[in-house]
Amino acid sequence: MSSLSVLLPSSLVSDARSPLEKTVKLGMVARALAIFRVDEVVIYRDRDPHVKDHRGEMEFISTVLRYAETPQYLRKLLFPKLEALRYVGLLPPLRTPHHPLQGEKSGEGDFREAAVLGAERGRSLLELGLEEKGVVERRLEVGSRVTVRLGKKEGGLWRVEVVPRESTGEYWGYRVLERESLSEAVKRYEAYFKIGTSRYGKKLEELRRSLREMRPERLMVAFGGPYGGLSSICEREGRRVEELFHLVVNTLPGQGTATVRTEEALLATLALLRAEVE
């Protein structure tokens, strides 16, 4: 499998009682996305009536997930002081390859994430999280984040090359996007095998059979929220769940609890998918 994407609702953490509790939940989500090498996560507006401010919820979720995915040495540069980030000290470290410890990925040929500090006359100065800054012979947008390959050190600066994140050959974090509806989010993944999750979905054997027969290179999996599943979300959009997904499956058959939280379903489902396709 070359690409894995996840769709999560704007009501994802609306059942939490405080911003602190929401942040803790999102820390679990970020860890699950990283553990199972999710490439892209889309936060879609699910219009759940239990949520008063869907735009605010979407921004909160996106901000915290982006912060968690950003290497520690770039966070203060890339994120202003925001109320949504008040409790990010509680987030667990991801420890992905693009979150190196001190002394790691610090030699010629290594890849790192960098932030653009300044640009003039066709050159840009970069923060690399190392003792020396980096320089690249390109004018880049100040404040943007890029992936670079370290070259040689000259005059107290690293000469670096900006590269696509895919060229690292390692899992390099997830992107966070937002969409105004589930239908709009699904449209992005026309070339993907699209999976919906539901307590009332097909048996796991249906999923296994489909994955064996189709051997899809790209998977997208969507989740409902704490107050309503994908069927009710589709109903609010005037759609049927079968129109949007190739398969709707119950990834937690025989659950021992009355309800399963979205972050719990996420962890279980991603573990199952990775086990089936690898």
- CATH code at 126? 2.40.50.140
Q: Cβ distance 122 to 138 under 8 Å? A: yes
Q: What is the pTM of this model?
A: 0.95
Judgement on whether residues 156 and 201 belong to the same structural domain of the protein: no
The whole-angstrom separation of Cα 123 and Cα 225 is: 46
Judgement on whether residues 83 and 132 belong to the same structural domain of the protein: no
Which amino acid belongs to residue 128? L
Domain end: 146, 165, 184, which one? Answer: 165
Give the pLDDT confidence score for residue 135 in this predicted structure.
98
Judgement on whether residues 191 and 260 belong to the same structural domain of the protein: yes
Judgement on whether residues 88 and 45 belong to the same structural domain of the protein: yes
Give the pLDDT confidence score for residue 257 in this predicted structure.
87
- Establish if 106 belongs to a structural domain: no
Q: Where are the beta strands (DSSP E) in the chain?
A: 3-9, 40-44, 111-120, 123-127, 134-136, 145-154, 157-162, 175-179, 193-202, 218-222, 247-249
Which residues span the domain enclosing 117?
Answer: 111-165
- Establish if 158 belongs to a structural domain: yes
Phi-psi group of 129: left, alpha or beta (phi > 0 → left; psi -120 to 50 → alpha; rest → beta) = left
Other C-beta atoms lying within 10 Å of the C-beta of residue 274 = 15
Domain end: 165, 185, 205, which one? Answer: 165
- Establish if 260 belongs to a structural domain: yes
Judgement on whether residues 120 and 256 belong to the same structural domain of the protein: no
Judgement on whether residues 179 and 267 belong to the same structural domain of the protein: yes
Tens of pLDDT, residue by residue over 150-203, are 999 999 999 999 999 999 999 999 999 999 999 999 999 999 999 999 988 999
Judgement on whether residues 74 and 202 belong to the same structural domain of the protein: yes
End-to-end CA distance of the chain: 8
Judgement on whether residues 76 and 178 belong to the same structural domain of the protein: yes
- Establish if 101 belongs to a structural domain: no
Q: Cβ distance 172 to 96 under 8 Å? A: yes
Cα torsion 148, 154, 155, 159 to 10°: value is -20
The whole-angstrom separation of Cα 33 and Cα 122 is: 37
- Establish if 121 belongs to a structural domain: yes
SS (H, E, C) 1-61: CCEEEEEEECCCCCCCCCHHHHHHHHHHHHHHHHHCCCCEEEEECCCCCCCCCHHHHHHHH
- Establish if 126 belongs to a structural domain: yes
- Establish if 262 belongs to a structural domain: yes
Domain end: 165, 182, 206, which one? Answer: 165
Judgement on whether residues 138 and 244 belong to the same structural domain of the protein: no
Judgement on whether residues 270 and 180 belong to the same structural domain of the protein: yes
Encode the chain (278 residues) as per-residue pLDDT tens digits: 789 999 999 999 999 999 999 999 999 999 999 999 999 999 999 999 999 999 999 999 999 999 999 999 999 999 999 999 999 999 999 999 999 999 999 999 999 999 999 999 899 999 999 999 999 999 999 999 999 999 999 999 999 999 999 999 999 999 999 999 999 999 999 999 999 999 889 999 999 999 998 899 999 999 999 999 999 999 999 999 999 999 999 999 988 988 889 999 999 999 999 998 88
Which pair of structure tokens corresponds to residue 202? 């097909």
What is the total count of domains within the chain? 2
Q: Cβ distance 20 to 160 under 8 Å? A: no
- Establish if 100 belongs to a structural domain: no
Give the pLDDT confidence score for residue 232 in this predicted structure.
94
* DSSP state letter for 129: S
Judgement on whether residues 177 and 259 belong to the same structural domain of the protein: yes
Judgement on whether residues 125 and 228 belong to the same structural domain of the protein: no
Total residues belonging to the chain: 278
- CATH code at 213? 3.40.1280.10
